[in-house]
Amino acid sequence: MILPAIKSAILRVTGVVVQEVFTSTDMIAVEMADLVNDVAADIALSHDWRALTKVHQVVGDGSFAYPLPSDYDRMVLASDVDDAASWFWGYHPFDTVNEWMRFKAGAYSIVSPGGWIIIGDEFQFYPAPNGTAQYPYISNAWARDVNGVPKSTFTADDDTFVLDDRLLTLGLIWRWLDQKDMPYAEAMQTYETALSQAQTRDRGARVIGTASRHRLSNGRHAYNGRAIR
């Protein structure tokens, strides 16, 4: 539960022991209940945590556009969209909307299975996938309710944090001190050190570099019959 983490932060900054937070009318509890969601969101955004990493599959049905997962936050850093039928070939990422538009207009040629871009909360493929595309992403559901149901906001004392509760405590301390215009540099340094250590321990910190796969004709765009390097 997140209650012990919040209680610990309150005790350290005020010396006050609270029994509840989200249902309390005490000002310190109200302030911490409001602040804890900001702290948790910052922690989640700071790193591609393995605990928040999921793999989504898109089964081609002839459509060009597919909705993002309901808990989608962002793509995993340096990730690809793979063709499930082949470990070697993947979908080319369109770098800009203009590039995607030009491919659709037939200005460029592209090697199968095609390319992708996110526009308007949808995965846009060109051409339409005829198989299964899959990609890793980071979920925004860093909280769980008492029944284990994922969600993206703390609303109750018995909610749990998917990541390290200690980071919540340390983050709450320095953020509350800063909010009150009190000295917070040492508390912030303690938090940042703990955050860095947690990121290093997380397997998501182990990025294995691979050569990029050229999926366009000869590794270059072909525009109106002329090669563009």
Question: Residue 218 — pLDDT band, cuts 50, 70, 90?
Answer: very low
Residue 132, SS3 per DSSP = strand
Cross-strand partners of 72: 139
DSSP code of residue 58: E
Segment 26-36 shows an average pLDDT of 95
Segment 55-81 shows an average pLDDT of 93
Phi, psi for residue 189 in degrees, rounded to 5: -65, -40
| Half-sphere exposure of residue 142: CA atoms within 13 angstroms, side-chain side | 24
Which of 53-67, 108-122, 206-220 shows the lowest per-residue confidence on average (mean pLDDT)? Answer: 206-220
pLDDT for 36 equals 97
When the pLDDT of each residue in the chain is averaged and rounded to a whole number, the result is 87
List all residues 6 or more positions away from 210 whose beta carbon is below 8 Å from its beta carbon: none
pLDDT for 85 equals 76
- Per-residue pLDDT tens for 112-164? 788 999 999 999 999 998 889 999 999 999 999 999 999 999 999 999 999 99
* Residue 74 token pair: 């962002």
Q: Which residues of 61-83 are buried (b: 16+ CB within 10 A; e: fewer)?
A: eeeeebeebebbbebbeebbbbb
Q: How far is CA 220 from the centre of its chain?
A: 31
Residue 11 has pLDDT above 50, yes or no: yes
Q: Are 129 and 113 in contact (CB under 8 A)?
A: yes
Q: Are 60 and 215 in contact (CB under 8 A)?
A: no
Residue 27 has pLDDT above 70, yes or no: yes
In the chain, the largest separation of any two C-alpha atoms, in whole Å, equals 73
List all residues 6 or more positions away from 81 whose beta carbon is below 8 Å from its beta carbon: 90, 91, 93, 116, 123, 133, 134, 135
Residue 206 has pLDDT above 90, yes or no: no
Q: Are 176 and 32 in contact (CB under 8 A)?
A: yes
pLDDT for 87 equals 61
Task: Give this prediction's pTM.
Answer: 0.82
